[in-house]
Amino acid sequence: MENTKYNGWTNYATWRVNLEIFDGMDGEGLDLTQDAYDLGHDLKDYAEGLIYDMGGGEGNIVVDYALAFLSDVNWHEIAQHMIDDYAEEYQDTDDDTYDEYGVNTKNSFNTLKA
């Protein structure tokens, strides 16, 4: 697939996977405080697992085509977008109790700011 910009994303595959799978996702089960490289791997694993589960597993032509489509996705870009959204949602610039990820740095239980 040709890599050309699409709706502000690296390419169509990246935009579509973000829109269909990750847009609006609350990040439950994902560590949004890790770097974009590691989160990108987690997102890829999640999307591949979803395709296997919904597509009937290995050896299915639909699964094979979907996985081929995923090979064009810029996982780092989606991960960075999710990290930025998470940081923006939980960051409070007037309160130094919380770090850039919304983690309470003055509480040993590291509660998130709501």
Contact 33, 103 (CB under 8 A): yes
Please write the tens of the pLDDT for every residue from 74-96. 999 999 999 998 888 776 544 56
Q: Taking residues 53-60, what's their average pLDDT?
A: 81
Q: What is the reported pTM?
A: 0.72
- Give the tokens for residue 81: 């977008």
* pLDDT, mean of residues 35-64: 90
Domain boundaries of the chain, sorted by first residue: 12-82
33-42: pLDDT as tens digits: 889 999 999 9
Residue 2 has pLDDT above 70, yes or no: no
Task: Give me the count of residues in the chain.
Answer: 114
Which neighbouring-strand residues pair with 112? 103
Contacts of the segment 16-19: beta carbons below 8 A, 24+ positions apart? 17/47, 17/69, 17/70, 17/73, 17/78, 18/78, 18/81
